Amino acid sequence: MRPVPARRQRGPTDPDRRDRIVEAAIVVLTEQGVSALTHRRVAAAAEVPLGSTTYHFATLDDLLAAALTKAAERSVAALRAWEESLDPDADIAHALSEFVVRSVSETRSDTMAEYNLYALALHRPHLRAAAVAWDNALAEVLSRRTDPVAGHMLGVLLCGLLMQVVLSDEAPTRESVEALIRRALTGSSDSAV
């Protein structure tokens, strides 16, 4: 009697494919804008078959939601890493101003993609939960260096500043950003924080 061949186990042959598709969607959004987002373009950018994008994301709105969540997670992770790298007695206004300037210079394309997705939540209610979770996470991280009210205020200021500066062709100076943050924290532009 011949042995029966073992059945091949079915399972994912490309377990990172879903994440690659989400990352590719962020790239398409960054480089071409929301109106250019299609399953076909994302599949090409991710180097996967078109059917893979529709398998993982039945609609473009599903893909946008995943992209917004990924962008928010990345943004908050970067902010957490930044906060954890600071000395305990760091000047938060100075340090946060450096973070903002780096976000609109060194990592400008990431910041543009994040805020492009964030702005979509205004017109797509199903994206709002991810945007609100992003805001709450920013406030939580910033509260570690201040207090809950100041953390929330800094989160709002950070979002507004980043949105303004990615819309502008001129990068702000660290000093101008620091003056805004310091004023928000102390009420005086020449007080130390």
pLDDT at 4 over 80: no
Q: pLDDT at position 38, please?
A: 94
Task: Classify residue 111 as left (phi > 0), alpha (psi -120 to 50) or beta.
Answer: alpha
Q: What pLDDT was estimated at residue 191?
A: 46
Most confident of the following: 31-40, 42-51, 102-111, 117-126: 42-51
> Per CATH, which fold does 15-58 belong to?
Arc Repressor Mutant, subunit A (1.10.10)
| Domain formed by 71-186, architecture | Orthogonal Bundle (1.10)
| pLDDT tens column, 138-173 | 899 889 989 999 999 999 998 888 888 878 878 788
For position 114, what pLDDT does the model report?
Answer: 78
- The per-residue pLDDT for 190 is 53
Apex 10 CA angle, 6 and 14, nearest 5? 135
pLDDT tens across 79-115, in order? 888 889 999 999 999 999 998 888 888 877 778 777 7
67, two tokens: 């992209």
Q: Do domains 15-58 and 71-186 have the same CATH topology?
A: no
Domain ranges of the chain: 15-58, 71-186
Average confidence (pLDDT) over 120-129: 83
What pLDDT score was predicted for residue 134?
83
Q: Determine the length of the chain.
A: 193
pLDDT at 12: 59
Name every residue whose Cβ is closer than 8 Å to that of residue 135 and which is 6 or more positions away in sequence. 155, 156, 159
Residue 22's pLDDT is what?
95
